[in-house]
Amino acid sequence: MTGAELKKLRQHLGEAIGQPLSVADMAKLCGLPAADGADTIRRWEVTGPTGPVAELLRILAMASDHYPILEMFNVFDRHDVPVKDRPARRQAFREQMRGDVRRRIG
């Protein structure tokens, strides 16, 4: 994930939960300490996050309709899920992810 992609993700997650996300909110999402987490996010908005944080953000990105549901989470396209039920299940999953984002930022 690049810095520009992180900035775009902050915007898209804010749209998904219905409120803009600050740099401090993004720090909370990443589990960074409040003291210097915002500074870390600002640096990452230039260089991009790496490692476990980048993976966490890829997962949280599924809260937004702008990002695909990752293959390891896609239980909707299986043969035992009726085709007519798939859109509703995808939407419920995204709502669950939005709830997780809201919970993380407090």
pTM of the shown model: 0.88
Please report how the helices 37-47 and 3-17 are oriented relative to each other, as an axis angle in degrees rounded to 10: 120
Among the listed residues 5, 34, 85, the one whose alpha carbon sits nearest the alpha carbon of residue 60? 5
Among the listed residues 92, 20, 32, 27, the one whose alpha carbon sits nearest the alpha carbon of residue 63? 92
pLDDT tens-digit map of 86-102: 899 999 999 999 999 99
- For position 16, what pLDDT does the model report? 97
pLDDT for 76 beyond 80: no
The CA distance from 102 to 54, in Å, is 19
- For position 22, what pLDDT does the model report? 93
pLDDT tens-digit map of 17-75: 999 999 999 999 999 987 789 999 999 999 999 899 999 999 999 999 999 988 888 87
Residue with tokens 């870390």: 40
Q: Are 44 and 96 in contact (CB under 8 A)?
A: no
Q: Which band of pLDDT confidence, cut at 50, 70 and 90, is reported for residue 104? A: very high
